């Protein structure tokens, strides 16, 4: 019962925010690639700090995210990687497809998220579709709805959840 509750809480946290994707829309150098760094949280892109890069003259980009919370004898960390494919870019934003995966691992209590001496691993993988909105010249917010399949270390497949995600990025 405790693992089920923990799984639901972790899945909700991971899926209540998103894929950090930012694009430098008014680039004075033509088809130059664009990069961004910011806060990410989502089922396919982990949670914490994220980095993304869109390749020059290509609609394809990559995304990495995660963050470790580690003490002397316990820890909780998230790591993720994914691809992005820009469908359309306009003056104020873009539409995109995403494909990624993430892992959330807690050990020896997981910073209070687990019972003492317990380990837990949650994987998520799947596609998504989203929109990114440019707020200022170098800031953007992305909203993504993934179809993430979740797998737990002891139970196997848990389910597939289409919960929206958000992110905030500084781009250059």
pLDDT digits (tens, 9 = 90+) for 90-115: 888 899 999 999 999 888 777 666 77
> 59 or 118, which is more confident?
59
Q: Residue 112 domain-assigned?
A: yes
> 23 or 6, which is more confident?
6
The pLDDT of residue 133 is above 50: yes
What are the Cα distances from residue 85, in Å, to 73, 98, 119, 147?
40, 6, 35, 16
Q: Residue 161 domain-assigned?
A: yes
3 state DSSP class of 2? helix
Confidence of residue 12 (pLDDT cuts 50, 70, 90): low
Q: Residue 155 domain-assigned?
A: yes
Question: Burial, 60: exposed, middle or buried (Cβ in 10 Å; 0-12, 13-18, 19+)?
Answer: exposed
- Can you name the residues that pair with 69 across neighbouring β-strands? 76
Q: Residue 138 domain-assigned?
A: yes
Q: Residue 139 domain-assigned?
A: yes
When divided into structural domains, the chain yields a total of 1
Query: 109 is in which domain, residue-wise?
Result: 2-165
Q: Is residue 16 a contact partner of residue 142, using CB atoms and an 8 Å limit?
A: no
Q: Which among 94, 24, 98, 99 is positioned nearest to 54, based on CA atoms? A: 24
Q: What is the mean pLDDT of residues 56-83?
A: 91
The pLDDT of residue 151 is above 90: yes
Q: Residue 172 domain-assigned?
A: no
Q: Residue 35 domain-assigned?
A: yes
Q: Is residue 65 a contact partner of residue 40, using CB atoms and an 8 Å limit?
A: yes
Q: Is residue 169 a contact partner of residue 45, using CB atoms and an 8 Å limit?
A: no
The Cα–Cα gap between 142 and 18 comes to 7
Given the DSSP bridges, would you call strands 156-161 and 148-152 parallel, antiparallel or unpaired?
antiparallel
Q: Residue 50 domain-assigned?
A: yes
């Amino acid at each position: 019962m405790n693992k089920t509750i923990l799984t639901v809480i972790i899945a909700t946290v991971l899926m209540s925010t998103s894929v950090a994707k930012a694009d430098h829309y008014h680039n004075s150098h033509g088809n130059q690639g664009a990069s961004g760094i910011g806060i990410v949280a989502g089922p396919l892109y982990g949670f914490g700090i994220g980095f993304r890069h869109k390749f020059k003259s290509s609609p394809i980009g990559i995304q990495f995210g995660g963050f470790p919370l580690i003490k002397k004898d316990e820890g909780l960390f998230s790591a993720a990687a994914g691809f992005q494919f820009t469908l359309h870019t306009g003056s104020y934003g873009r539409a995109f497809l995403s494909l990624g995966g993430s892992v959330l691992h807690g050990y020896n209590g997981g910073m209070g998220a687990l019972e003492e001496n317990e380990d837990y691993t949650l994987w998520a993988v799947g596609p998504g579709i989203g929109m990114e909105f440019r707020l200022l010249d170098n800031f953007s917010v992305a909203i993504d709805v993934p179809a993430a399949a979740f797998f737990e270390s002891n139970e196997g497949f848990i389910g597939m959840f289409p919960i929206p995600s958000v992110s905030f990025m500084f781009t250059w």
